[in-house]
């Protein structure tokens, strides 16, 4: 059986950044397994710009951003396999994968980093009633068709959901000559970034219908239209508000789901709020030596944060390998959330293992204005920062430092609190 | 001139074709859609009922019990995924107990083996997730689940291997008696003649019957909405779980599929539109609330798709099988609603035998009774699988991530006789696109493979034939 120090499941932005960071931390026996035909993951189909402002201080397209990291991987001679599907990971870190050249193989890893990304919520998962004709696509599938394959999925488009991919595709389809008639959003606020609302909808005169949803899909062979209705405070369609939109295409951008089938099957504990693994400060899951980062851990809004997080996971995995697979040990404290955040990543912390800085990432459950984001170590408020607006569509973060923890040798409680003044 | 033309390539038409193919005869199946199994046969519960439900003495009871008994051997011969998982009919209050007992009595009279009335303790021993409200249940260990797509396709493939012709994408417009005897079938692609006709046209079977007979029949399409749950919900129930039946069918059931998903459904709504396979918000919410009373907790967050099917309900609620009195040589398989799938093998055999007698057909000496399914590499040992990949690397390339379907399987599905021509055709044969992402990731790849194998441009590939084009053109700068 082939043996590696670290096997990384997925060669998207998270996997690549984790590999580079682990390598730079001194562990070189690394293998990246990627199911697609090239490295870079979903970035390859994100040909719009806006990537890399934090990481590279310049504005890149998705493929350019991916290329930067793919180059780093190649410069370091980190091994990777493309067109390779991981079928199973055992608790003792035997990775079973399959591809055309090697067939079905087992690979023994000392540490595993889960970076499988996420998938889109499908029409079925949304349970939208109606016919099942051709012409209903997830926004990401349409993006792949247009940007990778060069095919146009439709000419008259309605988009359900205002997630970022849907907003980007509203603009993209418009530029390709399609007519985007409306973007309907179930919630009273957008699920995407503010800048995308402005640049992808407002600039093209595409209406955003907040508190609206698709209640029926028409057309037996190909979509001929959809019925959109307004929803009430309980998100239920209001009778009498139905309006028919003629279209040949319905794109869905209604949220992303971390792809944790492999994680679940190997017994990794999953956080119900994120649908990603429960991780500690080292981004280590409930199975020692198995780490997670990027959209498989929790859905991010900016790839820069994915890279940053995955770098931390890579360094932690390297440390795990170097220490000979020592378990964390010591006291582990759960991070409590109060006043609005739905979760934090990480959700538990071993205070003695906190490095120079520790980033707590979270999302709020509803739009909140003029609040303070505070972290309490026991009763001491160690950070207190004003946020004018926080929305569920945007990820928030707060940085903690080693020094803060050093002042609390007997720490018992860590609390992230969103509070008014 | 054909000996027999079968109108309709659903499970019934294909079963008749398969059992008829053991005789020396020129047989043709005509199907309106681009694939077999595209109507009622593709959207149902996928059950082989034990046969306790249909009234004793009815054709429904007779063919169901017989079909269920035929299934294990047929599944073996034709490589059809089939499993006897057993069924429970739950009684949730004391008042319904007499109806449950009546069902038991009826089943015993129908000749269903192994029926038992059991109490809450035994029920929970068998199915721990069943509601605590349950007071009693009928247990039918011979009930089973089958893949309705593969069952129909396997029957068709085997019939085809034994010489039965299939004309897909061919809609029958009219049927009329020929002056010189026999029947003429007018299709969109010309007229075909046959000595005998089999009407297996599902929700359209009354239309064809009424073209040739003065004794009119009337079919009501009865729509049933379903939800399909991900493999992650597979632990919910091991057996098919009904509640004591009401007037409109067997009520909402929960069952595992033979592929390890869970199906919840169906509703029962009589409609006018014979193409009305749209789900409705009311239907989906009704079935989830009803199924919610069967189990302690229904994992609705695991729903991966919903769909609706139409049952061909005849006013008399009975199968209409056999030669039509005032139309000699015209054989009905009409009014085939539940338990139609379960009865299909028995109906196929019975109608084939009627035709044999009518046309005085001889047995073929070279009849091939078996059919090999599409090879699923997951069923092989590691060594066998690696040998296969070495020989045919396409079996090492996963295309559908959710169901782990390889390119090799998809190629087989397309290349075999009566192969897939559309995304749905591939999906029903090998499950690519059937999983939790509902083809989001794999559909562009499957289209690429279909186009390559069929030698057409990708823009020609459809979801399910006709105008169901998947892409409408190219981007501005594609070259």
The DSSP H or E segment spanning B14 is: helix B11-20
Residue B246 clears pLDDT 70, i.e. is over it: no
3-state helix, strand, coil in chain B (%, to 5): 35, 25, 40
- Give bridge partners of residue B145 from the DSSP assignment: B47, B83
Distance from CA of B279 to the nearest CA of A (A): 5
Query: Which pTM does this prediction carry?
Result: 0.96
Q: How far is A73 from chain B (nearest CA, A)?
A: 24
Contacts of B224 in chain A (CB under 8 A): none
Residues paired with B332 in a beta bridge: B199, B322
CA distance A80 to A34: 7
Quickly tell me which residue has 């039965």 as its tokens. B164
Per-residue pLDDT, B248: 58
Buried b (16+ CB within 10 A) or exposed e, B138-150: bbbbbbbbbbbbb
Shortest Cα–Cα distance, A371 to chain B (Å): 32
Looking at every residue in chain B, the average pLDDT score rounds to 96
Contact B476 A122 (CB under 8 A): no
CATH superfamily of B83-143+220-311: D-Amino Acid Oxidase, subunit A, domain 2 (3.30.9.10)
Q: Is B155's pLDDT higher than 80? A: yes
Is B169 an interface residue toward A (CB < 8 Å)?
no
Beta bridge partners of B229: B262, B303
Confidence at residue A124, expressed as pLDDT on a 0 to 100 scale: 85
C-alpha distance from B214 to closest chain A C-alpha (Å): 33
DSSP secondary structure string for all residues of A386-406: EEEEE-TTS-EEEEEEHHHHH
Which residues in chain A touch residue B281, judged by CB atoms under 8 angstroms apart? Answer: 129, 215-216, 237
Judge: B389–A100 Cβ closer than 8 Å, yes or no. yes
How many Å apart are CA B94 and CA B113, to the nearest integer? 25
Produce one character per residue of A366-402: b if its CB has 16 or more CB atoms within 10 Å, e if not: eebeebbbbbbbeeeebbeeeeeebbbbbbbebebee
Q: Which residues of A touch B278 (CB under 8 A)?
A: 129-131, 216-217
Integer CA distances (angstroms), A97 to A82, A102, B276, in order: 11, 9, 44
Binary contact (B467, A127; C-beta < 8 A): no
Question: What span, in angstroms and rounded, lies between the C-alpha atoms of B95 and A395?
Answer: 55
ipTM reported for the complex, 2 dp: 0.94
pLDDT digits over A152-188, tens only? 999 999 999 999 999 999 999 999 999 999 999 999 9
**pLDDT tens digit sequence for B430-447:** 999 999 999 999 999 999
* B234, B275, B310, B441: best to mutate for the A interface, most A CBs within 10 A: B441
Task: Please write the tens of the pLDDT for every residue from B110-120.
Answer: 999 999 999 99
Euclidean distance between the first and final Cα of chain A, in Å?
59
- Chain A nearest-CA residue for B230: A125
Q: What's B367's DSSP letter?
A: -
Residue A141 to residue B443, Cβ atoms within 8 A: yes
Residues of A with CB below 8 A from B385's CB? 103-104
Q: How far apart are CA B454 and CA B450, in angstroms?
A: 6
Instruction: Count the residues in chain B.
Output: 479
Contact residues, B window 438-477, toward A, CB-based 8 Å cutoff: 438-441, 443-444, 448, 458-459, 462-464, 466-477
Cβ of residue B390 closer than 8 Å to a chain A Cβ? yes
Can you give the residue ranges of every domain in chain B?
83-143+220-311, 377-460
pLDDT of residue A330: 82
Interchain contact, B475 vs A127, CB within 8 Å:
no
A224-238 average pLDDT score: 97
CA dihedral A227, A230, A235, A238 (to 10 degrees): -90
Contact between chains at B396 and A102 (C-beta distance less than 8 A): yes
Q: Is there a contact between B404 and A87 if contact means CB atoms under 8 Å apart?
A: yes
- Is there a contact between B303 and A104 if contact means CB atoms under 8 Å apart? no
Pairwise CA distance, residues A266 & B301, whole Å: 21
Per residue in B61-89, pLDDT tens?
999 999 999 999 999 999 999 999 999 99
Across the interface, of A103, A122, A217, the residue whose CB is closest to B390 is A103
In the predicted model, what is the mean pLDDT of chain A? 96
Question: How does residue B247 score in pLDDT terms, banded at 50, 70 and 90?
Answer: low
Task: Name the residue of chain B whose CA is nearest to A132's CA.
Answer: B278
Taking an 8 Å cut-off on Cβ atoms, the answer to whether A140 and B440 are in contact is yes
**pLDDT over 80 (residue B478):** no
Q: Does B281 touch chain A (CB under 8 A)?
A: yes
Assigned token pair, A262: 């492999």
What pLDDT does residue A264 have? Answer: 96
Round to whole Å and give the CA distance between A375 and A398.
8
- List the single best residue of B232, B234, B277, B278 to mutate versus A (max A Cβ within 10 A): B278
- Asked if A248's CB is within 8 angstroms of B278's CB, the reply is no
Of B275, B439, B448, the CB nearest to A220: B275
Asked if the model's pLDDT at residue B249 lies above 70, the reply is no
Per-residue pLDDT band for A8 (boundaries 50, 70, 90) equals: very high
Is B5 exposed, middle or buried (CB count within 10 Å of its CB: 0-12, 13-18, 19+)?
A: buried
Q: Report the residue from B438, B462, B478 with minimal CB separation from A134.
A: B462
B138's tokens: 């009928």
The strand pair at A2-9 and A30-33 is best described as parallel
B43 touches chain A (CB under 8 A): no
Report pLDDT digits (tens) over A78-92. 999 999 999 999 999
The phi, psi pair for A336, rounded to 5°, reads -80, 145
**Does the pLDDT value for residue B41 go beyond 60?**
yes
**Residue range B196-225: average pLDDT?**
97
State residue A274 phi and psi, 5-degree precision.
-105, -20
- Write B445-448 long-range contacts (CB < 8 A, 24+): B445/B399, B446/B399, B446/B400, B446/B410, B447/B423, B447/B471, B448/A149
With tokens 């090999």, the residue in question is B372
Ramachandran angles phi, psi of A333, nearest 5° = -115, 130
Across B235-391, the runs of DSSP E, i.e. the strands, are: 240-243, 253-256, 262-265, 269-270, 303-314, 320-324, 327-334
How many other C-beta atoms lie within 10 A of the C-beta of residue A407? 11
**Domain B377-460 belongs in CATH node 1.20.58:** no
Report the C-alpha gap between B257 and B427 in whole angstroms: 15
Q: How far apart are CA A66 and CA A60, in angstroms?
A: 9
Rounded-to-integer distance, Cα A150 and Cα B457, Å:
13
Contact (CB, 8 A) for B263 and B291: no
Residue from the list A124, A134, A261 with its beta carbon closest to the beta carbon of B470: A134
pLDDT for the residue numbered A364:
95
Q: Tally Cβ neighbours within 10 Å of residue B73.
A: 11
Distance CA B139, CA B121 (A): 13
Q: Say if residues A91 and A75 touch (Cβ distance below 8 Å).
A: no
Sequence-distant (≥ 6) Cβ neighbours of residue A406 within 8 angstroms: none
Mutate to test the interface with B, among A102, A214, A220 (most CBs of B within 10 A): A220
Yes or no, beta carbons of B472 and A85 under 8 Å apart: no
CA distance B38 to chain A (A): 13
Q: Is B386 on the interface with A (CB under 8 A)?
A: yes
**What is the least distance, in Å, from the CA of B247 to any CA of chain A?**
25
Hey, do B83-143+220-311 and B377-460 end up sharing a CATH topology, with the first three levels equal?
A: no
pLDDT in tens, A297-320: 999 999 999 999 999 999 999 999
Model pLDDT, residue A191? 85
Vertex A318, ends A314 and A320: CA angle to 5°? 115
Measure in Å the smallest separation between the Cα of A129 and chain B Cα atoms: 5
Which chain A residue is nearest to residue B400, measuring alpha carbons?
A85
Q: Chain A within 8 Å of B284 (Cβ-Cβ)?
A: yes
DSSP A294: G
How do residues B392-411 score in pLDDT, each as one tens digit?
Answer: 999 999 999 999 999 999 99
Residues B330 and B327: their CA atoms lie apart, in Å, by 6
Q: How far is CA B48 from CA B39, B86, B287, in A?
A: 18, 10, 21
Query: Quick one: average pLDDT of A103-110?
Result: 98
Catalogue the active-site residues of B: 49
Where are the strands (E) in A90-211, listed by range?
94-99, 103-114, 118-120, 136-138, 151-152, 156-160, 179-185, 208-210
B335 φ/ψ sector (left φ>0, alpha ψ -120 to 50, else beta) = left
Note whether B305 contacts A120, CB cutoff 8 Å: no
For B476, the closest chain A residue by CA position comes to A176
CA–CA dist B310, A196 (Å, integer)? 43
**B440–A103: do the CB atoms touch at under 8 Å?**
no
Note the pLDDT tens digit of each residue in A240-284.
999 999 999 999 999 999 999 999 999 999 999 999 999 999 999
| CB distance B13 to B348 below 8 Å | no
Q: Which residues between 190 and 229 in chain B have a beta carbon less than 8 angstroms from any beta carbon of chain A?
A: 227-228
Q: What is the pLDDT of residue A395?
A: 93
Where does residue A219 fall: left (phi above 0), alpha (psi -120 to 50 degrees), or beta otherwise?
A: left
- Evaluated on CA atoms B50, B53, B58, B60, the torsion sign reads negative
- Rounded to a whole number of angstroms, the distance from the CA of A37 to the nearest CA of chain B is 11
Q: Could you give the angle at which helices A13-24 and A303-322 cross, rounded to 10 degrees?
A: 40
Chain B CB contacts of A140 under 8 Å are 440
CB pairs under 8 A between A and B: 140
B contact residues 70-109, partner A, Cβ 8 Å cutoff: none
Q: Chain A residues with CB inside 8 Å of B468's CB?
A: 133-134, 221-222
Looking at residues B124-133, what average pLDDT do you find?
98
Share of chain B above pLDDT 70, in %: 99
* Nearest CB partner across the interface for B304, out of A124, A141, A150: A124
Provide long-range contacts, Cβ within 8 A and 24+ apart, for B404-408: B404/A85, B404/A87, B404/B378, B405/B430, B405/B431, B405/B432, B405/B442, B406/B377, B407/B449, B408/B375, B408/B377
pLDDT for the residue numbered A327: 72
**At A111, phi and psi to the nearest 5?**
-135, 150
* Nearest residue to A291 via CA among A7, A35, A79, A2: A7
pLDDT of residue B258: 97
**Better-scored residue on pLDDT, A127 or A400:** A400
Residue reference for tokens 């299909």: B344
Neighbours of B135 (CB within 10 A): 16
Q: CA of A42 to nearest chain B CA: how many angstroms apart? A: 11
CA-based max dimension of chain B:
72
């Amino acid at each position: 059986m082939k043996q590696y120090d670290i096997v990384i499941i997925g060669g998207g932005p998270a996997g690549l950044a984790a590999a580079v960071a682990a390598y730079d931390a001194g562990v070189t026996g690394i293998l990246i397994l990627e199911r697609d035909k090239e490295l870079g993951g979903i970035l390859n189909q994100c040909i719009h710009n806006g990537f890399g402002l934090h990481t590279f201080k310049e504005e890149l397209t998705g493929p350019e951003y991916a290329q930067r990291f793919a180059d780093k991987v190649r410069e370091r001679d980190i091994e990777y396999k493309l067109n390779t599907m991981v079928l199973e990971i055992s608790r003792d870190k035997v990775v079973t994968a399959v591809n055309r050249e090697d067939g079905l193989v087992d690979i023994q890893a000392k540490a595993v980093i889960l970076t499988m990304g996420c998938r889109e919520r499908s029409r079925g998962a949304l349970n939208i009633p109606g016919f099942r004709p051709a012409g209903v696509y997830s926004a990401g599938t349409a993006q792949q068709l247009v940007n990778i394959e060069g095919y146009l999925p439709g000419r008259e488009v309605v988009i359900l959901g205002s997630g970022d991919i849907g907003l980007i595709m509203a603009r993209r389809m418009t530029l390709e000559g399609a007519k985007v008639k409306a973007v309907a959003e179930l919630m009273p606020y957008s699920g995407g970034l503010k800048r995308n609302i402005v640049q992808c909808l407002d600039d093209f005169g595409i209406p955003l219908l907040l508190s609206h949803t698709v209640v029926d899909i028409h057309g037996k062979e190909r979509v001929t239209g959809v019925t959109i209705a307004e929803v009430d405070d309980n998100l239920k369609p209001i009778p009498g508000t139905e309006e028919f939109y003629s279209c040949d295409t319905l794109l869905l951008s209604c949220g992303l789901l971390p792809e944790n089938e492999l994680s679940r099957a190997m017994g990794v504990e999953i956080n119900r709020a994120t649908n990603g693994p429960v991780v500690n400060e080292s981004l280590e899951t409930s199975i020692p030596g198995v780490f997670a980062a990027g959209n498989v851990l929790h859905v991010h809004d900016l790839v820069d944060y994915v890279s940053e997080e995955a770098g931390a996971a890579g360094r932690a995995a390297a440390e795990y390998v170097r220490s000979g697979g020592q378990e964390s040990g010591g006291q582990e404290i759960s991070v409590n959330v109060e006043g609005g955040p739905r979760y934090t990543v990480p959700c538990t912390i071993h205070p003695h293992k906190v490095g120079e800085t520790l980033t707590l990432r979270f999302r709020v459950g509803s739009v909140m204005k003029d609040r303070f984001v505070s972290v309490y170590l026991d009763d001491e408020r160690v950070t207190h920062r004003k946020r004018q607006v926080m929305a569920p569509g945007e990820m928030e973060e707060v940085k903690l430092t080693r020094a803060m923890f050093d002042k609390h040798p007997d720490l018992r409680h860590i609390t992230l609190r969103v509070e008014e003044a | 001139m054909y000996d027999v033309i079968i109108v309709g390539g659903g499970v019934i038409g294909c079963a008749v074709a398969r059992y008829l193919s053991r005789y020396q005869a020129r047989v043709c199946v005509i199907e309106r859609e681009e694939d077999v199994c595209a109507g009622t046969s593709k959207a149902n519960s996928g059950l082989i009922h034990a046969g306790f439900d249909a009234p004793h003495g009815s054709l429904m009871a007779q063919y169901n019990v017989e079909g269920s008994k035929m299934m294990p051997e047929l599944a073996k011969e034709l490589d059809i995924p089939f499993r006897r998982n057993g069924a429970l009919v739950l009684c949730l209050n004391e008042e319904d107990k007499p109806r449950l007992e009546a069902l038991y009595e009826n089943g015993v009279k129908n000749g269903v083996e192994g029926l038992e009335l059991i109490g809450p303790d035994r029920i929970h021993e068998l199915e721990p997730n069943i509601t605590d409200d349950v007071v009693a249940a009928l247990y039918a260990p011979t009930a089973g689940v089958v893949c309705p797509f593969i069952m129909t396709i396997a029957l068709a493939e085997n019939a085809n291997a034994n010489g039965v012709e299939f004309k897909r994408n061919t809609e029958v417009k009219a049927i009329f008696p020929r002056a010189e005897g026999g029947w003429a079938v007018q299709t969109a692609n010309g007229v075909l003649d046959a000595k005998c006709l089999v009407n297996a046209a599902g929700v359209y079977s009354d239309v064809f019957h009424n073209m040739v007979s003065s004794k009119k029949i009337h079919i009501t399409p009865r729509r049933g909405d379903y939800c399909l749950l991900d493999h992650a919900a597979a632990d919910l129930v091991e057996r098919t779980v009904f509640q004591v039946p009401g007037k409109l069918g067997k009520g909402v059931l929960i069952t595992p599929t033979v592929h390890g998903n869970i199906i919840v459904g169906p509703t029962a709504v009589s409609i006018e539109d014979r193409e009305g396979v749209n789900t409705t918000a009311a239907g989906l919410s009704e079935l989830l609330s009803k199924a919610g009373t069967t189990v302690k907790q229904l994992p609705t967050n695991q729903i991966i798709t919903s769909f609706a099917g139409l049952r061909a309900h005849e006013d008399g609620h009975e199968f209409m099988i056999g030669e039509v009195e005032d139309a000699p040589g015209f054989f009905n398989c009409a009014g085939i609603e539940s338990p139609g799938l379960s009865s299909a093998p028995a109906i196929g055999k019975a109608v084939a035998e009627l035709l044999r007698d009518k046309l005085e057909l001889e047995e073929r000496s070279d009849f091939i009774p078996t059919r090999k399914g599409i090879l699923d590499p997951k069923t092989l040992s590691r060594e066998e699988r690696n040998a296969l990949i070495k020989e045919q690397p396409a079996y090492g390339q996963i295309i559908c991530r959710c169901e782990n379907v390889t390119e090799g399987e998809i190629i087989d599905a397309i290349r075999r006789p009566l192969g897939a021509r559309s995304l749905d055709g591939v999906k029903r044969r090998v499950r690519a696109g059937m999983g939790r992402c509902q083809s989001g990731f794999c559909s562009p790849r499957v289209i690429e493979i279909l186009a390559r194998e069929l030698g057409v441009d990708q823009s020609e590939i459809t979801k399910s034939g006709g105008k169901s084009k998947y892409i409408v053109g190219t981007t501005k700068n594609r070259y």
